Chain A
Amino acid sequence: MSATRSGNSRPARKKAVPTAKGAAPTWNPNLVVFACNWCSYAGADTAGVSRIQHQPYFRLIRVMCSGRIQPGFVLRAFEKGADGVLVSGCHFGDCHYVNGNERAVEQFKKTMDVVKLLGIDEGRLRLEWISAAEGARFAQVINEFTDQVRALGPSPLSNGRQAADVPAVKGVAIDG
């Protein structure tokens, strides 16, 4: 039996501090993922519980319903330098709020129009339905979308900024 450890004074494991070594040639995109609380966010959690590995270049922003995701959010993400934006919600008929995801589609179409108008490749914006049980699907969508945006290269609005969030390390592509 192990000794009981109490309190908060566990020694830190010294690893994973970003360092300058290991720079790899592959460019990695910065992705923003909007997810609804009830389905896709829960799907991302399910991926975690099942330890389904996927590429780590996205940051997820939780909202209650995909209907909340207004064009302004997506456009702001692109403006700030996102290379890709994924909008996700519940499957049709599964919305916690009756039909918020149908509204999300309408908003998404409007957003897509503006995105195209701005000269941003439409491959940088994607809409996906992921249920709370679909952890594997969440991982698959993330991997696909990351590869898709990686192939497109940095967004023209990112001002040549290279993976702002990965200051020193240029990671390698990860398959799942």
Chain B
Amino acid sequence: MDAGRHPLIDVVTNAEVIGCSGEPGAFRVRVRKNPRYVREDLCVACGLCVDACPQVGGNEFDVGLKARKAIHRPFPQSVPAAYAVDRDACLNLLGFLSEKQRKRLEKMRKVKQRKQGDYRAAPILVCGHCSDACDVDAIDFDMRPEEFEVDAGAILVAVGFREFDARKLGNYGYGRFPDVVTSLELERMLNASGVTQGHVIRPSDRKTPERIVFVQCVGARGEGGRGYCSRFCCMNAVKDSMLVRQHDPEVQDITILYTDLRAFGKGFDDFVKRSHDEQSARYVRGRPAKIEHVAETGTLEVFVENTLAHEQTRIEADMVVLSVAAAPNDGAAELAETLGIELDRYGFIARKDPAVSAVETSRDGVYVAGSAVGPQVIPDCVSQASAAAARAQRYLTGHRFEEEAVPVEPMDLSGPPRVGVLVCHCGVNIAGVLDVEELAAYAGTLPDVAVAQTHLFACSSTGQDELVELIRDHGVNRIVVAACTPRTHEPIFKETCARIGFNPYLLEMVNIRDQCSWVHAKHAVEAQTKARALIRMGIAKARHLSPLHEGEVPMTRSALIVGGGIAGIAAATDLAVQGLPVTLVEKTDRLGGRLAQPNLKLLYPTMRSAQEVLDEKIKRLKKSGARILLNTEVEGVTGFVGNFEAKLAGAVDERLAVGAIILAFGADLYEPGTEYGYRNRDNVVTSEELERAFFGDADTVDIEAFCARPDGAEPKSASFILCVGSRDPEGFSGCSRYCCPTAIKQAMELCRRGIDTTVFYRDIRTISTGAEEMYREARGMGVLFVRIPPGDKPEIVGKKRAEGVRCYDDLLGREIEVPTDLIVLSVGMKPRQPATDSFHDMLKASVDLSGYFLERHPELAPVETAVEGVFLAGTVQGPKDIVDTVAQASAAAAKASVLLAFDKVKLDPMIAGVSREQCRACGACVDICPFHAPELVEENGVVAARINGSLCKGCGTCGSWCPSGAITCEHFTDRQVHAMIDAFFEPEPCSDVRVAVEGQVVT
């Protein structure tokens, strides 16, 4: 919705890229826009055509669970809102043809299309119901594919994925048994406004299934020729099982068949724990051999070996949900060919080196984001999208958006309120249920209403003209538009007002379509009464509206990056290449953080040298022109967005003014202390120490340093213990994400050197690109993997030095002891201290329960904090690996650059304000505001709260909490809300409106 409305974003739907030439900074992209047979500029999305359409077709949005008309809106919130004609269903586009004829016609069309680049639709309209029904003549069957060229500095590929076709796995019976459904089909059922309104039904008899089985990894992790892990399915199954339980208590039993539970994200493990606590599902480790249909009972039978209970079982189920993996999207290969970029072995878009940049493809100037590169979870997709935007910006400098100056003389709107009312028919959307003329007439009788008119489509250009006329000719100083929802259409009316100098905050919208005529269609009388009341309330509020003016504060167009690790380097580079002044502050005497030697040797999964990657990144940083301050610390920060002042100490001593701050100081590694005898046994080391040992002699691992054997012989075996300091109910309950693949990488390295290696794990979470394949390779090499039950910890045998590991092997079902010469503890991450605490104090950015900085919203704003102008890059926000860190750092840079693009910060005037006279300085507002906008300020000896307009987001919570009523929440003031409440209960002034208003109403 935001993208559709953005003045600088053109959304071209139904389109494909058919050619691309040029070079980074000056691409020419050829686009073919296929016809939707509905003119986007005319369609008002009223839906009349749908009612008229006689033809029903398939519905890909509801994955075939529901039929839809040939003319349709793809889904309720689609952008553009215009309807579209389904070429495979519309009679005009198919004619009355048999299946065979249709196929031949399709073939002919394709041939023609190839030859001529376009073709005509069927020349004679066999059906005209939709165009007859359309009030605005938006339907046009003469539309042809249009081709045009777009100049582009950079290209961003975000084609997503499609779900794996479960039909390919015949043993699961998808497509043969109706009650075997995919996770996407279940998702549509669970959607409250979806096909079954949130009820889970069994497709075969539409009854609620009592027993549901989820099958994980369908088409992933080795099945169906795909080696990768699909990342999102585990959590999706856990979430769905909980939702099903909440919606339908009739569902008795849910079983999830899994291999490893990959709850790797922030808070994911806690979510799984909740599922265990609530017993929403039974977890069985195993992958079914087959699913059979039992004809007698009409149910399904899942044949599976429970690998933890060591038994082959048959689970009876009423419905089976296949958690299908992500597969490369249709057309991705063609697009890659057109754009000249490479694909990986599965057909996803390949990246040059994800550790250097998570979004660069094999061609300069072409970037990729989201699941086009392989399965991703939403927060990572959003980070990558911002990262791709940041990288693309380097080719767009010079094309920056200059705000058009609108030299409009503000109108004089003073004096007592004179309200102008415009009531919209919206075709028959409103007028089909409500008597619109009567509403206008009624509005005309209400106090302070100067004029009330109606219009067929108030949002159309003629409607906007009428609004202008209304303001100019009738001298009104308040406007009430009774039409649809302000959430979509208020900006249109506001812009029109602003264009002629009418303060747009003197406009109030009344929603008589979405929340009245559409939902009370069967009860016209009550709906009419409701509409009258809503209009009465809207007018009452409008009478109390006051003009508001957008404020602005200056923006210091420069950024401070705290931390010189890989995250800080990536963020600083992306900002500096755009020509913005960037200062990177590093506490130590070198850049690189954990990547720098002697900390890290090889990066998984590419096995590139960490130093090489780092050198490349540092080279880019130095070239970008960023100012790098080593041996420097940030001692204090004051100020707010656009106007921060940081006190730097160390190599330089200065006060630095910046507009935005990116926190990228990383995380610490967990210290095991005496756990597993780390302190008192020489041959127990951490994964970091082992990594350092790899920097010894190239051929032999220098593990003697840790584990001199008493008999002087070469060490023969090594053991890895995973989840040390992670997934610990008493410590950090989350997953550290990086340790599984790192341990596998190190185990393979030891294995290659002839050392028997065993990895003790709870769940192997190889979720990043290439990691699952590495896991498979490690098993093939002979690395032993021993699964231990989640609650257990392995025991170390041996007094002075570790001689073996004793534990319960979950898969063998018995206690085992593995002799070992070396124990490697794969330590997790923990928030870096005292940096986290001190920046938390200085910036007031919140931290979460595990002590990491809290993002503003996990999906919508993964790199932003609640404090405007402060962004998060890398592990300050939570554990992640290098690929994800680099993506997030670029995302933070992109978000910061949006702010820094302007020399002023515009302030929304719909915010809170304090009356100093009424404030008694209790500080309640200061305590509750998550954005730290209010502060207590002493002025002329009087202490009172003051709200910083650049921090206030306008939620109004402080206004509700202020005990003395000193806080006003603009546009939603107490007076305005009270006026609405009062207006609701005012008796209608006249029982017969029509008589009373004769002569007053202008229509």
Contacts and interface: CB of A to CB of B under 8 A. Distances in A.
Given A98-B930, A134-B192, A8 B955 contact: no
A31 to B, nearest CB: 10
A49 to B, nearest CB: 4
A118 interface: no
Contacts of A72: 974
Interface stretch (B11-19, B127-135, B802-810): B127-135
Given A12-B436, A63-B977, A80-B984, A42 B193 contact: no
Contact of A47 (B136, B519, B931, B969): B519
Contact of A42 (B487, B931, B956): B487
Given A6-B462, A13-B436, A67-B960, 16 more contacts: A14-B435, A16-B528, A49-B77, A51-B519, A52-B193, A53-B520, A64-B969, A68-B959, A70-B959, A82-B981, A82-B984, A97-B931, A135-B192, A139-B519, A164-B985, A174-B523
B80 interface: no
A49 B521 CA distance: 12
Contact of B525 (A7, A48, A49, A171): A171
Contact of A49 (B76, B435, B466, B974): B76
B991 A167 contact: yes
Contacts of A4: 136-137
Contacts of A14: 435
B515 interface: yes
A79 to B, nearest CB: 9
B612 interface: no
Interface in B512-527: 513-516, 518-527
A141 B197 CA distance: 14
A7 B978 CA distance: 36
Contact of B977 (A59, A61, A81): A61
Contacts of B513: 48
A64 B956 contact: yes
A100 B930 CA distance: 9
Nearest to A68: B956
Contacts of B991: 167-168
Contact of A8 (B466, B525, B974): B466
B533 to A, nearest CB: 5
Given A81-B985, A133-B191, A98 B519 contact: no
B437 A12 contact: yes
23 contacts: A1-B132, A1-B137, A2-B137, A5-B456, A8-B462, A12-B431, A17-B994, A18-B528, A22-B525, A53-B520, A54-B519, A59-B530, A60-B515, A65-B955, A68-B956, A73-B978, A76-B978, A82-B984, A97-B955, A97-B957, A98-B930, A107-B960, A169-B525
B42 to A, nearest CB: 10
Contacts of A134: 192-193
B984 A32 contact: yes
Contacts of A51: 518-519, 521
Nearest to B422: A8
- Interface size, B (range): 35 or more
B982 interface: yes
A71 B961 CA distance: 9
B518 A48 contact: yes
Nearest to B858: A93
A96 interface: yes
Interface residues of A, number: 75
A12 B978 CA distance: 33
Contact of B431 (A13, A47, A100): A13
Contacts of A114: none
Nearest to B515: A44
B137 A16 contact: no
A86 to B, nearest CB: 13
Contacts of B960: 67-70, 103, 107
A46 B76 contact: yes
A30 B462 contact: no
Nearest to B534: A59
Contacts of B984: 30, 32, 59, 77, 80, 82, 165
Interface string B959-1003: 111000000010010100110111011011001001000000001
A165 B537 CA distance: 12
A97 to B, nearest CB: 4
B198 to A, nearest CB: 6
B432 interface: yes
A166 interface: yes
A14 B974 CA distance: 38
B988 A167 contact: yes
Contact of A52 (B128, B519, B953, B1003): B519
B981 A32 contact: yes
Nearest to B466: A8
Interface string A99-126: 1100110010000000000000000000
A45 B516 CA distance: 10
A136 B193 contact: yes
A168 B525 CA distance: 10
Contact of A2 (B132, B432, B856, B980): B132
Contacts of A65: 955-957
B816 interface: no
B930 A48 contact: no
A133 B984 CA distance: 28
A171 B516 CA distance: 16
B690 interface: no
